[in-house]
């Protein structure tokens, strides 16, 4: 392995470890760098923006993990939350992400691919489970504030993942189209969650 390859590998390792730890601890910033800042630009050293090598099947598997996490947490919030705004948000998350999950499954069928694991998939799954565990046992206003905070973090993380990891790797045109649609939905969810976060913080 030459110095350039080794350097990129070390940078990538640090990126994955740092992002996973931040998400698991709930310390991801409420706003992350935009895609234009994170994406490698012409003439820029690719080592500055590590991108995992992902196949189309690995990309759709990451999307499935993200959707399943939102569905799981949304169903839990519907049972635990009390105020209408949070319950309605949780219902929307279940509805929208169930639809998104179905679209991913249909795309897998049309491309004739199966689920395929990756380091990114495992990282996202671990972060989602850590998020679930932080909500366990909370009730009332404490649960609602924690749930919305987790939703802001999760959607920001997924949005950044789409911009910096999934889009740069996507090959099939139908997958690129789905990623564009998914990104729009996730961005809208993030905005909604941030509005709720602000309203809960003011209470």
Question: Could you state, in chain order, the average pLDDT of each consecutive group of 10 residues for the chain (203 residues)?
Answer: 42 41 39 35 41 94 98 97 96 98 97 95 96 95 96 97 97 98 98 94 63
User: What are the residue boundaries of the structural domains of the chain, listed by start?
Assistant: 54-201
Give the alpha-carbon dihedral of 191, 86, 29, 132, to 10 degrees: -130
Task: Output the pLDDT for position 52.
Answer: 85
pLDDT of residue 14: 44
User: Are the C-beta atoms of 47 and 2 separated by less than 8 Å?
Assistant: no
pTM of the model: 0.75
Q: Which CATH number is correct for 54-201, 1.10.3720.10, 1.20.1260.10, 2.40.30.10, 3.40.50.2000?
A: 1.20.1260.10
What pLDDT was estimated at residue 108? Answer: 97
């Amino acid at each position: 392995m030459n110095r350039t390859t080794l350097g990129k590998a070390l940078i990538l390792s640090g990126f994955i470890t740092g992002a996973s730890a931040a998400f698991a601890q709930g310390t991801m910033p409420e706003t992350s760098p935009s895609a234009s800042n994170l994406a490698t630009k012409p003439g820029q050293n690719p080592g500055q923006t590590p991108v995992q090598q992902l196949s189309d099947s690995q990309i759709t598997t990451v999307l499935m993990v993200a959707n399943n996490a939102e569905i799981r947490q949304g169903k839990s919030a519907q049972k635990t939350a009390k105020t209408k705004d949070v319950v309605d948000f949780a219902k929307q998350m279940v509805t929208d992400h169930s639809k998104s999950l179905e679209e991913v499954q249909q795309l897998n069928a049309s491309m004739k691919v199966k689920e395929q694991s990756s380091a990114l998939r495992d990282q996202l799954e671990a972060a989602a489970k850590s998020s679930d565990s932080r909500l366990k046992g909370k009730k009332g206003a404490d649960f609602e504030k924690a749930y919305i905070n987790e939703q802001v973090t999760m959607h920001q993380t997924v949005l950044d993942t789409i911009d910096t990891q999934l889009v740069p790797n996507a090959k099939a045109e139908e997958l690129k189209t789905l990623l564009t649609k998914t990104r729009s939905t996730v961005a809208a969810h993030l905005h909604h969650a941030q509005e709720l976060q602000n309203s809960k913080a003011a209470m």
